[in-house]
Amino acid sequence: MAKMATSMVESGEDVFRKMFKFYKRRDPPPDLRGVVDFSSEPLADKVAPAHLEAAAVSDEEAARVGLRPVRDWRAFSLQGFPGFIFISNPFLRGSQPFWVRQCLKTYPQKPNVCNLDLHMSACDTQDIWAKSAPVLRSPSSGRNQPKTLLEKLHWVTLGYHYNWDTKTYSADNHTPFPADLHSLSARVASACGFPGFRSEAAILNYYRPDSSLGIHVDESELDHTRPLLSFSFGQSAIFLLGGTRRQDPPTAMLVHSGDVMVMSGQSRLLYHAVPRILPTPQGHAALLEDLRPASPQQAAAMLEPVSEEDWMACSVYIQKSRLNMTVRQVLGAGQSFPVAPPSSVTRTDKSEIGGYHDEDPGKRKRSDSDSANET
């Protein structure tokens, strides 16, 4: 990988785009030997332990949102990327299914916004879960079974709803932010040295096996001093983290179910992308499928259990999909949204929203260079 990156720099071409295509290609598949894997033995020359504020979050507070005690987290920093923190699955056994269910059953509900709203009526998208779960629990053996609405879901926005046309947030496009997701985000942010973090917006991305997320920078928030938090569940992915320029060669890393990434400080405004979804390793899959809490004490403190009926549908979906939640604080202390003039921008085609790539035949694909979605 290093030789390839060097040749790209010398050629003066867009290094990130080249690397994106390298990891996205199917035939031949890319060589993953140079990809950082924090769940195993990460490369010593690139990775170092990251400092966490263990006293900032009590064990009880962590358990309430399904997290292990902060002192037990495996957190890493990456050489050359100050402010970037990678936390390798800090979740308690039995807690990941709760967040998977929230992503599939609760967060797509109205008044939250999703990609299906762009071409379907409000009544058709009123309860995506109710229309999809029975089909997922009893999948047809035929290959031509139509996709459920959940399988057509690409993104959901929470809190301040991101405007994909203008790439902005606004005060008049807002719904209440989920309290449980704020609790999770605030605890992770506090442990990483950001007390008082306010979860004001989130973008949820739903990846199928042939999906990817194009090259982008998260810069629409008005306050860049607060971190961007990323939570991943389900299948694994290759994540590329670059520099402030497209000519800066990115570092490739594996993201598994339960992993958390924090982009702050100098890493807050770096280019990044997801070129490829990979099957999750067996050990990570077993943790995801485990509905049992680690102990009776944790069961009492943890989140609402997931019913077997709900998990039957979630499990079928997650076996081939990746879920990602990115949470951000939009406004700093004393900030407010600027008054914008009326926009004449028309809606974008649904297949182009957010730089989300789908390789279904016949669909328009958006260039990864034009993407502005979140990881």
Residue 123: CB partners within 8 Å, gap ≥ 6?
A: none
Is 284 flagged in the annotation as binding? no
Whether residue 324 contacts residue 182, with contact meaning beta carbons closer than 8 Å, is answered with no
Is 182 flagged in the annotation as binding? no
Cα separation, 158 vs 156, whole angstroms: 7
Cα separation, 74 vs 207, whole angstroms: 26
Q: Which of 105, 228, 211, 108 is nearest to 156 (CA)?
A: 108
Q: Which DSSP helix (H) or strand (E) runs through 356?
A: strand 356-357
Cα separation, 323 vs 154, whole angstroms: 10
For residue 200, give the amino acid letter: E
Is 310 flagged in the annotation as binding? no
State residue 201 phi and psi, 5-degree precision. -155, 150
Residue 283: CB partners within 8 Å, gap ≥ 6?
A: none
Known binding-site positions = 216, 218, 272
Known binding-site positions for Fe cation = 216, 218, 272
